[in-house]
C-alpha cells in the first residue's frame, strides 16, 4: 500500500464506494464472517432445538443483542413453517439482517455546511483509535475536495500531537497544535478560528481519550464543545468505538451521548473480530447511526458505512 495521498486518492477505488467494496472483501476474509457458523447450521435438512440454540449463540456472540436476535430467529422459524423445504434460508437471513442494520438510516456526514467551516468532534475512550480515525477521516474528506483543518486537542498524551501531525502530512491538510498540557478547549477554539479565516470547509477536532466512567474527564469534553460554541456550531460528534469491546461499546455510547450528544458512530477494528453486530443495538437503543467503519491502519482504511455491503461481508460463508 502506498502512503502517498496524492497517489492513493487518484483512482475510483479510493472513492467512498470503492473503499467500501474493498473493506467488504477484507471483512469477508477475516474471522468476523459469522456466516460460516450460521449457514453451517441453516444448511442442514432439519433444524432441531439444539441447532437453533447454536444459531442463537452465534448471533449473541456477534453482539447482535437479545431483542434483535429473537426477531431474527423468529423470521427464520416463520419462513420454515410457511415455506417448508422451499425456504431459502440464506436469502431470508440476509434480508432480515439488512433490516436489523437498517439501510434507511441517514448516515450522511454534516459536512460541508453553507457559509462556514463544519465542525466535527471525534471522541471516545482510550485505545479505540480516535487519532487514527481523525487522520483517516481528514484524508477521506480531502479526497472529496474539501479543505480540512485538524485540531490536536489531545494535549495530555505526549505523542498525540505528533501522531496527528503525521496524519495531517500524509493527508496534506492543515493542523493546529497547542503546547503540552494546554487547555484542549483553547486549541479547538483556535483551530475553528483559523479555519474560518482560511475559508476551510471542515475542522476535525481530535480530543483526548477518556474513561466514560470518569465524570471530570467527561465534563472537560463538554467544555470543549461549549468553548467551540463561542465561534461556531458543532455539526457532528463522532464516537469512535472499538468493535472488539462488544457490549461495553454500547455502555460507552450511552454515557457519551448523555454528556455531549453523539451524532454518529465510527466502528473500528472490524478486521479481526466477530463483534460487528454491536451496530444493531447501538442504533436501536440510542438512535445513533453508524456512519463509518474502519479496517486496519492504512490511510484509506475508513469508509462510509453501507448496510448491504456490511451484511454481505459478515454473512460470507
Give domain status of residue 129, yes or no: yes
The residue behind cell 454518529 is 264
Give domain status of residue 20, yes or no: no
Query: pTM of the predicted model, to two decimals?
Result: 0.87
Cell numbers standing for residue 100 = 436489523
d(CA 20, CA 185): 34
Number of domains composing the chain: 1
Residues in the chain with pLDDT values less than 70 = 1-20, 22-34, 36, 45, 85, 210-216, 271-275, 316-317
Residue 93 phi, psi dihedral angles, 5° rounding:
-60, -40
The residue behind cell 502517498 is 4
3-class DSSP state of 291: strand
The residue behind cell 471525534 is 122
Residue 179 phi, psi dihedral angles, 5° rounding:
-90, 155
Give domain status of residue 163, yes or no: yes
Q: Which of 13, 290, 16 minimizes the C-alpha distance to 146?
A: 16
The residue behind cell 479505540 is 128
Dihedral angle sign, alpha carbons of residues 285, 130, 14, 2: negative
Give domain status of residue 161, yes or no: yes
If you ran DSSP here, which 8-state letter would residue 261 be given?
-
Give domain status of residue 12, yes or no: no
d(CA 214, CA 114): 36
Q: How far apart are the first and last CA of the chain?
A: 27
Q: What is the CATH number of the domain that holds 127?
A: 3.40.50.300
By residue range, what is the domain housing residue 127?
A: 118-305
d(CA 91, CA 304): 25
Q: Environment class of residue 31 by beta-carbon count within 10 Å: exposed (0-12), middle (13-18) or buried (19+)?
A: exposed
The residue behind cell 478486521 is 271
Cell numbers standing for residue 266 = 465510527
* pLDDT score at 14: 55
Residue 264 phi, psi dihedral angles, 5° rounding:
-165, 155
Give domain status of residue 173, yes or no: yes
Q: Which of 39, 48, 225, 244 minimizes the C-alpha distance to 122?
A: 225
Residue 268 phi, psi dihedral angles, 5° rounding:
-105, 170
Cell numbers standing for residue 225 = 464543545
Q: How many Cα atoms occupy the beta-carbon half-sphere of 8 within 13 Å?
A: 21
The residue behind cell 477484507 is 26
Give domain status of residue 310, yes or no: no
* pLDDT score at 193: 97
DSSP-based helix, strand, coil % in the chain, nearest 5? 55, 15, 35
Give domain status of residue 235, yes or no: yes
Amino acid at each position: 500500500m502506498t502512503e502517498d495521498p496524492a497517489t492513493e486518492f487518484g483512482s475510483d477505488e479510493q472513492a467512498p464506494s470503492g473503499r467500501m467494496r474493498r473493506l467488504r472483501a477484507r471483512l469477508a476474509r477475516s474471522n468476523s464472517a459469522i456466516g460460516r457458523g450460521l449457514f453451517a447450521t441453516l444448511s442442514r435438512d432439519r433444524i432441531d432445538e439444539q441447532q437453533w440454540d447454536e444459531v442463537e449463540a452465534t448471533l449473541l456472540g456477534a453482539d447482535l443483542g437479545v431483542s434483535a436476535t429473537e426477531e431474527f430467529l423468529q423470521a427464520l422459524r416463520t419462513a420454515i413453517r410457511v415455506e417448508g423445504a422451499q425456504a431459502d434460508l440464506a436469502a431470508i437471513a440476509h434480508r432480515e439482517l439488512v433490516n436489523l442494520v437498517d439501510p434507511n438510516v441517514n448516515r450522511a456526514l454534516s459536512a460541508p455546511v453553507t457559509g462556514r467551516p463544519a465542525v466535527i468532534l471525534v471522541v471516545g475512550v482510550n485505545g479505540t483509535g480516535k487519532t487514527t480515525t481523525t487522520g483517516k477521516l481528514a484524508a477521506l474528506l480531502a479526497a472529496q475536495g474539501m479543505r480540512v483543518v485538524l485540531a490536536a486537542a489531545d494535549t495530555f498524551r505526549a505523542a498525540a500531537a505528533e501522531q496527528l501531525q503525521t496524519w495531517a502530512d500524509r493527508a496534506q491538510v492543515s493542523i493546529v497544535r497547542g503546547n503540552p498540557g494546554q487547555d484542549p478547549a483553547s486549541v479547538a477554539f483556535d483551530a475553528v478560528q483559523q479555519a474560518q479565516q482560511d475559508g476551510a470547509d471542515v475542522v476535525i477536532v481530535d480530543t483526548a481519550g477518556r474513561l466514560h466512567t470518569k465524570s471530570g474527564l467527561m465534563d472537560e469534553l463538554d467544555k470543549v464543545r461549549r468553548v467551540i460554541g463561542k465561534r461556531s456550531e458543532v455539526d457532528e460528534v463522532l464516537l469512535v468505538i472499538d468493535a472488539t469491546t462488544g457490549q461495553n461499546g454500547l455502555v460507552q455510547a450511552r454515557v457519551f451521548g448523555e454528556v455531549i450528544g453523539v451524532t454518529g458512530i465510527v466502528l473500528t477494528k472490524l478486521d479481526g473480530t466477530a463483534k460487528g453486530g454491536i451496530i444493531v443495538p447501538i442504533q436501536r437503543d440510542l438512535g445513533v447511526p453508524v456512519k463509518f467503519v474502519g479496517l486496519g491502519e492504512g490511510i484509506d482504511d475508513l469508509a462510509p458505512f453501507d448496510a448491504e455491503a456490511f451484511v454481505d461481508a459478515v454473512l460470507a460463508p
